[in-house]
């Protein structure tokens, strides 16, 4: 069965998400653990955590098919010690929040070295991950590195960079990746035809290993191949999806092994329409 859903709001409470996911035709979702543009966060009350897990069971949603996305302020590659320290502390707390909800994956962007150099940035990422995992030994949450668009000083636009992070960690078995179709397209990965899709899968296989891919962020792109802009568009309305450009990608058996999560513009109604369109593409 295809696992498909969208980023969902938690403004009415975590425990509303499972039912709202099913209402838009989904069976998977992504959520923020707190307001993504703030440093402040706290563990949900036990009553809320239990209610959320009860709703997951009631709606027959598998916790391995959904995930939590870290806040936007986190940058564990930052050379600024204050920002780095706050980022590590918040990422660690987000991991505990993820565990309290019974979910298994916490997705985050590797970060930006801000001009300090790739090697130095990766070293800080590895130091941060070591602390975060050390503070979360009591849970089984996995950290997912998300590929980013190739622009500026951001780390993680290539699978080689993601591999160097995974290989350098003290617990590589607790690190996986999320593949974002918009970010990948912006970085030059063609997925509108079988040849491009095969090259992408081969690249993942030969670097991090396909078993490390746990989630796919399914996003169209406002800009053409290799633009390096990172601007998401609704499925079917961007440079990937026009003329049913996602059909080959979504029909690939290995791609279908992974959950697909929309991070496209719009609200639940828009996402419901996109999910319906995706299902039509697949026949």
Going by C-beta distance under 8 Å and a sequence separation of 6 or more, which residues neighbour residue 73? 36, 37, 38, 39, 86, 87, 90
> Exactly one of 230, 233, 239, 271 is catalytic; which is it?
230
CA-wise closest residue to 182 among 246, 121, 258, 277: 246
> Exactly one of 34, 154, 232, 271 is catalytic; which is it?
232
Rounded CA separation 198/196 (Å): 5
Q: Which two tokens stand for residue 267?
A: 């609200």
Count the residues in the chain. 283
> Exactly one of 180, 186, 220, 274 is catalytic; which is it?
180
Collapsing DSSP to helix, strand or coil, 104 comes out as: coil
113 is catalytic: no
Q: Which neighbouring-strand residues pair with 213? A: 177
> Exactly one of 154, 174, 217, 239 is catalytic; which is it?
217
40 is catalytic: no
Rounded CA separation 162/204 (Å): 10
Rounded CA separation 134/88 (Å): 11
Classify each residue of 55-92 as buried b or exposed e, where b means 16 or more C-beta atoms within 10 Å of its C-beta: bbeebebeeebbbbbbbeebbbbbbeeebbebbbbbbb
> Exactly one of 263, 268, 270, 277 is catalytic; which is it?
263
Q: What is the DSSP letter of 154?
A: B
267 is catalytic: no
> Exactly one of 69, 113, 124, 154 is catalytic; which is it?
69
280 is catalytic: no
195 is catalytic: no
> Exactly one of 37, 138, 140, 280 is catalytic; which is it?
37
109 is catalytic: yes
> Exactly one of 15, 34, 65, 109 is catalytic; which is it?
109
> Exactly one of 146, 186, 233, 274 is catalytic; which is it?
146
Q: Catalytic residue positions?
A: 37, 69, 72, 109, 146, 180, 183, 217, 230, 232, 263
């Amino acid at each position: 069965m295809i696992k498909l859903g969208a980023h969902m709001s938690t403004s009415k409470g975590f425990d509303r998400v499972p039912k709202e996911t099913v209402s838009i035709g989904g069976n998977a979702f992504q959520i923020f653990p707190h307001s993504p543009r703030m440093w402040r966060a706290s563990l949900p009350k036990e009553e809320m955590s239990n209610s959320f897990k009860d709703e997951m069971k009631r709606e027959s949603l598998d916790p391995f098919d959904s995930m939590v996305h870290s806040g936007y302020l986190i940058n564990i590659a930052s050379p600024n010690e204050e920002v780095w320290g706050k980022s590590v502390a918040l990422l660690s707390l987000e991991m505990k929040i993820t565990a309290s909800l019974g979910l298994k994956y916490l997705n985050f962007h590797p970060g930006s070295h801000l001009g300090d150099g790739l090697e130095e940035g990766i070293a800080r990422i590895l130091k941060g991950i070591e602390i975060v995992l050390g503070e979360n030994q009591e849970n089984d949450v996995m950290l997912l590195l998300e590929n980013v668009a190739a622009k500026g000083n951001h780390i993680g636009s290539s699978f080689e960079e993601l591999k160097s992070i995974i290989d350098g960690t003290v617990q590589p078995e607790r690190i996986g990746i999320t593949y974002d179709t918009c970010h990948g397209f912006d970085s030059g990965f063609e997925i509108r035809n079988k040849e491009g899709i095969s090259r992408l899968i081969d690249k993942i296989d030969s670097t991090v290993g396909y078993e490390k891919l746990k989630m796919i962020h399914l996003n169209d792109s406002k800009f053409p191949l290799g633009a390096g802009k990172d601007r998401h568009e609704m499925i079917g309305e961007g440079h990937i999806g026009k003329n049913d450009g996602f059909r080959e990608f979504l029909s690939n058996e290995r791609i279908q092994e992974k959950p697909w999560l929309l991070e496209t513009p719009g609200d639940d109604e828009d996402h419901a329409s996109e999910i319906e369109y995706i299902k039509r593409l697949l026949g």
